[in-house]
Structure 1
Amino acid sequence: MPDPQRLPDALDRALRDWLTHLDVERGLSRHTLRAYERDVGRYAAYLRSRGITDLAAVDSAVVSDFLVALRSGEGDHPPLAASSAGRAVVAVRAFHRFLALDGALEADPARSVTPPKTPLRLPKAIPLDRVEALLAAASVGDTPAALRDRALLEVLYGVGARVSEVVDLDVDDLDRDSEVVRLRGKGDKERIVPLGSYAAAALDAYRTRARPVLAAKGRGIPALFLNQRGGRLTRQGVWAILKATAERAGITEEISPHTLRHSFATHLLQGGADVRIVQELLGHASVTTTQIYTKVTIDQLREVYAGAHPRAR
C-alpha cells in the first residue's frame, strides 16, 4: 500500500489506520486504495490549511466547506465536476464513519453532508447498422489476429462485457456445451451470460485456428485472448483493436469498448427485453443503474411518435 502524504501526527495516524483497514480487512483493490488515499489526503490538507489538526474539532460545517472548496477550486486545485467532488465526499464520509465506529471519534460530522447531485449522463450507444459494419470490418482476413479481433468484438457486443472482464477471461471460462461464458465483474462477482450464435461461431474459429498459433509464441498461459507475443491481451490492446477496426468500418464518432456495452443494453431494451434481465446480464448490483438505459429507449420512442403520429405535432 502506498504511503500517504506527510500529515500532522493525528491526521497521519487516522489516515494510515483507515487505509490499513481498507487494505487488510476490506481487501479493496490498489486502484481504489489510491483513489481513497488521494481524496482523503486532500481533505486532510484542507483541514491543515484551516489550522485543524484534531479530527474531534471537525463538525458538519467544516465538511460542507470542504465540498464547497472542491466545487469552487482552491489553491493549486481547479474546480471539480460534481461527479469528482461527490466521489471525494463519499471517501470523506467513509473515513469519518470508520473513525466513529472505531471509537476514535464520539460522533460522525460527515454523516449529514451529502454528495452533490450529478447531471444525468445518458450512455452513448451506436445504432445496430454501425455495430454490424464494425463487426463486418473485423471479419476481413483469415490471419490469427483477424480471427481474434472478430471473436473479441463479437464477445464485447454479444455479452455486454466490460473490457476488464474480457481481458480477464480464461479458456476455461467458456462452456461450449451450454454456450455460456463466465464473467468476473466488479467486486470479483461472477455471472453467467449466454453466448449468441455469432459470438459462439467467432470464438470457435478463433480457438481452433488462431489461438494455438498465438499461444505457441508465449508460455502457455490460460488467457482466452492473446496478443501477438502469446501473452494476455491488455485493455490498451483491446482499445487499439477497436479503434483500428472502427476506422476500417468508416465509423467517425468516438467509440470505446464501453460503447459496445451500452449498445448491447440499449438494443436489448429496444427489442423488448425486461430491464431486470438486462440488469442480470450487465452485472449491475441495482436495477436503478440499468434503468438509465430505459430513458434512452423512451426518448427514441418519443422521437418516432412525434414524427409519425398525425396527432402528435
Structure 2
Amino acid sequence: MTWDLVKKDFKRYLQLERNLANHSIAAYLNDVQKLEAYCSFKRKELDQIDTLFIQQFLVFINDFSISPFTQARLLSGLRTFFAFLQIEYDRKDNPTELLESPRLNRKIPSVLNLEEIDALIAAIDVSTLEGMRNKAILEVLYGCGLRVSELVTLKISNLYLDVEFIKVEGKGNKERLIPIGQQAIKYLKIYLEEIRPHIPIQTGYEDIVFLNRRGRQLTRVMVFLIIKDLAKKIGLTKTISPHTFRHSFASHLVEGGADLRAVQDMLGHESITTTEIYTHIDKDYLQSVITQYHPRS
C-alpha cells in the first residue's frame, strides 16, 4: 500500500462515490499530502499511523499558527480519508475517530440592509450593455441567494421563469430548484431578450446565462470586481463580496419570518445548523419575536 496508489484511489472515491466538486477534492488531497509529508519526516508508514500519531501531527500543524477553522477542516478531511481506507483497504480502525475538533466561534456573516442593496443596484450605469447585465446579476444574486459559482454556471435551459423557478447546480453537483421573484425575472428577461443577443457567443457557452463581452462565461473574480466597484462608487465601507448578497438574502428571509427549513432548502445547506446562523444576525428581530409570542412578555 503506497501513498501514490492510495491517493489515486482516494481521488477516484471522492469523484465517483462522494460526487464532490473539483475544488473540494483538491482540498481533501491537500490534507492527505500534509499527513504524507509528516509521515515522511517521522519515517512512519501509512499502516503504522495511530491516534497518538495523528495527535502529534495536529500539534505540529498548530505550531504554524493555523486557524482553528483550518485545523477543524483538516481533521474532517483526515476522518474521511481513514474512513475510505477502512472501506477500500480493510483498515481495522479510524485513528481520527475519537479526536475532538477545535472549538470554533461561529462568525456572524456580514449582511447588507435593503437600503444598501438598493443603493448598490441604483449605482449601476444601465445605459450600457454591461450595466444592464450587471443589474440582472445583482438582482439574481440577491433574489435567489445563489453562490457565485452557481451564478456564473447558471444555464438558460435551467430557467423556468413562467413558473418562477430556476434550477442550479450547487456543491457536490447537487441540483436544487429555487424560487425567483418578479424583480429578478424582470431584469433577467431584459438581459436575455435585449442584451445577450448582441454578444458574440463563443462555442460551448450557448447555454450559459451570464457572459462577458467576448461571449464567454463570467469568472467568479469578475463578479467580485463588479460588486467591489459599485461599493466604492457609493462609498460603502463594509467589506462585501458576491457571498454578501447570499447572506443578505437569507438574513432578510429569516427576519421576515420565513421557515428555517425553507431557507435551508433554498440555500442548499446540508445541515440546518448552517442555516441557523442567520437567526443570530438581527437581535432586534429576535426580541420582537419574544415580545409578540412569549406569554410573559
Contact in 1 for aligned 2:154/2:209 (Cα 8 Å)? yes
> Hey, what does 2:50 align to over in structure 1?
59
Contact in 2 for aligned 1:180/1:193 (Cα 8 Å)? yes
More divergent stretch after superposition (293-302 vs 173-182): 293-302
Other structure's SS at 2:117 match: helix
Matched ranges for 1:76-95 at <5 A: 78-95=64-81
Pairwise CA distance, 1:88: 1.3
RMSD of Structure 2 on Structure 1 (CA): 2.4
Change beyond 3 A, Cα 1:208–1:93: same
Pairwise CA distance, 1:218: 3.7
1:209 aligns with 2:200: no
1:70 aligns with 2:28: no
Q: Deviation digits for residues 233-284 of structure 1, max 9, x if unmatched? A: 1111111211122222221211100000000111111111111111111111
> Hey, what does 2:149 align to over in structure 1?
164
Contact in 2 for aligned 1:85/1:116 (Cα 8 Å)? yes
Pairwise CA distance, 1:58: 2.1
Q: Which runs of 5+ in 1 are unaligned?
A: 1-8, 306-311
Contact in 2 for aligned 1:169/1:223 (Cα 8 Å)? yes
> Hey, what does 1:133 align to over in structure 2?
119
Q: Distance in 2 between matches of 1:193 and 1:29?
A: 20
Q: Which runs of 5+ in 2 are unaligned?
A: 291-296
Q: Distance in 2 between matches of 1:69 and 1:106?
A: 26
Q: Which amino acid aligns with 1:22?
A: L
1:193 aligns with 2:178: yes
Out of 203, 225, 246, the residue aligned to residue 261 of structure 1 is 246
Q: Distance in 2 between matches of 1:121 and 1:103?
A: 38
Contact in 2 for aligned 1:266/1:293 (Cα 8 Å)? yes
> Hey, what does 2:24 align to over in structure 1?
32
Q: Distance in 1 between matches of 2:117 and 2:110?
A: 13
Matched ranges for 1:178-257 at <5 A: 178-214=163-199, 216=200, 218-219=202-203, 221-257=206-242
Pairwise CA distance, 1:190: 1.6
Other structure's SS at 2:177 match: strand
> Hey, what does 1:46 align to over in structure 2?
38
Change beyond 3 A, Cα 1:37–1:248: same
Q: Deviation digits for residues 164-201 of structure 1, max 9, x if unmatched? A: 11111111221221122111111222222222121111
Contact in 2 for aligned 1:97/1:111 (Cα 8 Å)? no
Contact in 1 for aligned 2:119/2:234 (Cα 8 Å)? yes
Q: Distance in 2 between matches of 1:58 and 1:258?
A: 39
Contact in 2 for aligned 1:143/1:210 (Cα 8 Å)? no
Change beyond 3 A, Cα 1:24–1:289: closer
Pairwise CA distance, 1:105: 2.6
Pairwise CA distance, 1:86: 1.2
Contact in 2 for aligned 1:182/1:191 (Cα 8 Å)? yes
TM-score, L = length of structure 2: 0.89
Whichever of the two has the greater Rg, that structure is 1
1:144 aligns with 2:136: no
TM-score, L = length of structure 1: 0.85
Q: Distance in 2 between matches of 1:84 and 1:211?
A: 41
Q: Deviation digits for residues 273-301 of structure 1, max 9, x if unmatched? A: 11111111111122111001001123664
Other structure's SS at 1:118 match: coil
The number of residues matched between the two structures is 291
Higher RCO, 1 vs 2 (CA within 8 Å, ≥6 residues apart): 2
Change beyond 3 A, Cα 1:255–1:93: same
Q: Distance in 2 between matches of 1:12 and 1:207?
A: 48
Other structure's SS at 2:207 match: coil
Change beyond 3 A, Cα 1:284–1:217: closer
Q: Distance in 1 between matches of 2:257 and 2:104?
A: 29
Q: Which amino acid aligns with 1:109?
A: P
Pairwise CA distance, 1:98: 1.8
Between the two proteins, what is the percent identity of the paired residues?
38
Q: Which amino acid aligns with 2:180?
A: L
Change beyond 3 A, Cα 1:89–1:133: same
